[in-house]
Structure 1
Amino acid sequence: MNTATELYQFSKKYQINYNTKEQKGIELFDRFLKEYPKVNFSFSFIGFHQYKSFKNHEGLTGYGISGNMLYTVSRKNSYQYNLYQCKSITGQKKMNGIYLTLEFEKETVIINIGFADGDLVLAALKQSSGKD
């Protein structure tokens, strides 16, 4: 997938789009592709990056997986994570959604994906990390 519409439609089809409406989702993935124009993605989803609380996060964020890399674009920043370097990938259901935790050597990334299919996203992340 390498268009904003394809990335959004994928996330919507599998209900891993945080109930984002089409226009907002396509705008999100447009920003995403401006950061990573030459990458072809095999998986995409929408969540809240670096989620600490309802008011403490980086806002609605687009995510894409290509090979062993997780690409992320929030309102504040863009990130690339090499999933091979991830020490552990876990998911936990909380009151306000499913939290994915990716532990790296020097940082921990927490993503809130709402009440989407956490098992599907977790499986994709683990497969890309080689830890499935």
Structure 2
Amino acid sequence: MNEPAIKAPARVIATTAALALIKVLQHKYGALMFHQSGGCCDGSAPMCYPNGEFLLGDNDQLLGFIGDVPFYMNKDQFDYWKHTQLIIDVVPGRGGMFSLEGSEGKRFLTRSRLFTDEEEESLIS
């Protein structure tokens, strides 16, 4: 008897707190987008922008959606993170200076967990 196929997990998900903050930001700014920064000024952090305000390049790829908000990451950075599920959370404090949540006294934070062997296989097939 064949075992049921494991459904491929989402590459990026968000906590209830992150989804609540996204709703607040959508109310204030309208449609949003995320890009996982790769360092530089704000370190490596999920950055929230009004949709279309961050110019995506050929090396940026869509990882998925948190709520109804697209989440992008540079392909080179993705090579390091491809074995993990990104979990977007919220903590108190100031975020990146270009990310919208800073005015709320909170910042988005990326946590992660390794995919199981079965989950990783489902992402490949």
Q: What TM-score do you get using the length of structure 2 for normalisation?
A: 0.30
The higher-RCO structure (CA 8 Å, 6+ apart) is 2
Q: What TM-score do you get using the length of structure 1 for normalisation?
A: 0.29
Which has the higher Rg, Structure 1 or Structure 2? Answer: 2
